Amino acid sequence: MESNAGATETRSNVTVSDGGEVAAFESLQFTDEIHRLISAPATDNASSFTALLELPATQVVELLHSPESVKLIVASAPNVEDFKGSFHFPSNTGLIQKDARFSVFSGEGNNKNDKSNSPEMTSKNSSANLEKAVKSEPAETASSLPLVSDPTVENRNIKRKDREKKVKGSTKKSKPATNESLEDAEKLPYVHVRARRGQATDSHSLAERARREKINARMKLLQELVPGCNKISGTALVLDEIINHVQSLQRQVEFLSMSLAAVNPRIDFNLDSSFTSESGSTMDGGNFPSLVTPLMWPDVQVNGYRQQFQHQWHFDTLKQPIWGREEVCNNYVTPENSLLSYDSSANSAATLHANQLKMEL
């Protein structure tokens, strides 16, 4: 059988080393095998692995190119006896640090009836790792769609997960597990249910899991936004960092508004008009007359304001001159162009009119 041939190949590959250097070599072998597997129709129960590969074929192939998953595929090949020796493989990879998430395709890979328990466990472990690789892939490729199980498949997967849950033993070690629970699970065409070991596998926890992944994705985005968060590991610390950042930003806003409030208002008035003149000058390519003429105008206005402040406190009357000034502002190209493209020319303009002010006073 194809899978046997593949198994022999893999066996030879396995014996080479368990290092990453084998990965490329193995991947070559495996892609051929996998292509063969993929092309073969999923006739027999045993080749549920191929059935697995049918649908998300390209993605699985892509996954299989990653070194960890290659090792996993090694372990997950259906031949039993060969892999008893390669048991420690998954533990060597160090990928099984977390406690498993099983993906369904682990169940499928195990569906030969004559299998002993150990390869099931290895395949489970491997599938756990593969599942992790799978999980990392969507984050990069953003192709999480094929990995999300259909609702119809999901129900079947749920059942399978329940059965898998009954299979005891730690994921890290390869303990013999019962066959029967995994045997029924073959026919499913695809995989993917990520159920955490020992947790409920109903649809609520699936939704919860999806939510958690969303949250993790957003945490990553936040980490990129907040400087200095990339090195921190652990979501609580990252959140603390984010909180500190938000607090510091808010404090900066307060401080800046305080300094804006404390600025000498007389100069401010002229600077407001200087914004407009600045924008005018920058747009016109620096005409001095346009810079000078608005200067005269706000001085008059300022005096007018003073009188109004002394006599009237009505807001409406105060508004009029303000509107007048704003009209002038709007006539020019919006001031923010000058403000935001603030460069040394603004400095010179400002000093220019501060000097003029002093002369007038």
The Cα 33–Cα 5 span in angstroms is: 9
Smallest gap from Cβ 43 to other proteins, in A, equals 42
Smallest gap from Cβ 239 to other proteins, in A, equals 4
- Site residue total, other proteins (CB under 8 A): 73
Q: Which is nearer to other proteins, 152 or 310 (CB)?
A: 310
Q: Which is nearer to other proteins, 25 or 288 (CB)?
A: 288
SS3 string, the chain, reads: CHHHHHHHHHHHHHHHCCCCHHHHHHHHHHHHHHHHHHHCCCCCCCCHHHHHHHCCHHHHHHHHCCHHHHHHHHHHCCCCHHHCHHHHHHHHHCCCCCCCEECHHHHHHCCCCCCCHHHHHHHHHHHHHHHHHHHHHHHHHCCCCCCCCCHHHHHHHHHHHHHHHHCCCCCCCCCCCCCHHHHHHHHCCCCCCCEECCCCCCHHHHHHHHHHHHHHHHHHHHHHHCCCCCCCCCHHHHHHHHHHHHHHHHHHHHHHHHHHHHCCHHHHHHHHHHHHHHHHHHHHCCCHHHHHHHHHHHHHHHHHHHHHHHHCCCHHHHHHHHHHHHHHHHHCCCHHHHHHCCCHHHHHHHHHHHHHHHHHC
**Token pair of 361, please?**
């006073």
139 touching other proteins, by CB under 8 A:
no
240 touching other proteins, by CB under 8 A:
yes
31 touching other proteins, by CB under 8 A:
no
Smallest gap from Cβ 45 to other proteins, in A, equals 36
252 touching other proteins, by CB under 8 A:
yes
Smallest gap from Cβ 167 to other proteins, in A, equals 24
**Looking at 15-23, 68-76, 117-125, 232-240, which segment touches other proteins (CB under 8 A)?**
232-240
355 touching other proteins, by CB under 8 A:
no
**Looking at 59-67, 127-135, 145-153, 330-338, which segment touches other proteins (CB under 8 A)?**
330-338
Choice from 1, 16, 207, 225 touching other proteins (CB under 8 A): 225
String marking each residue 261-300 x if it binds other proteins according to CB under 8 A: xxxxxxxxx-xx--x-----xxx-xx--------------
What residues from 334 to 353 belong to the interface with other proteins (CB under 8 A)?
334-342, 345-347, 350-351
What residues from 180 to 209 belong to the interface with other proteins (CB under 8 A)?
208
Q: Which is nearer to other proteins, 180 or 326 (CB)?
A: 326
Choice from 2, 218, 289, 355 touching other proteins (CB under 8 A): 218
What residues from 49 to 78 belong to the interface with other proteins (CB under 8 A)?
none
Q: Tell me how crowded residue 333 is: count the other CB atoms within 10 A of its CB.
A: 14
Q: Which is nearer to other proteins, 340 or 359 (CB)?
A: 340
Choice from 61, 305, 352, 357 touching other proteins (CB under 8 A): 305
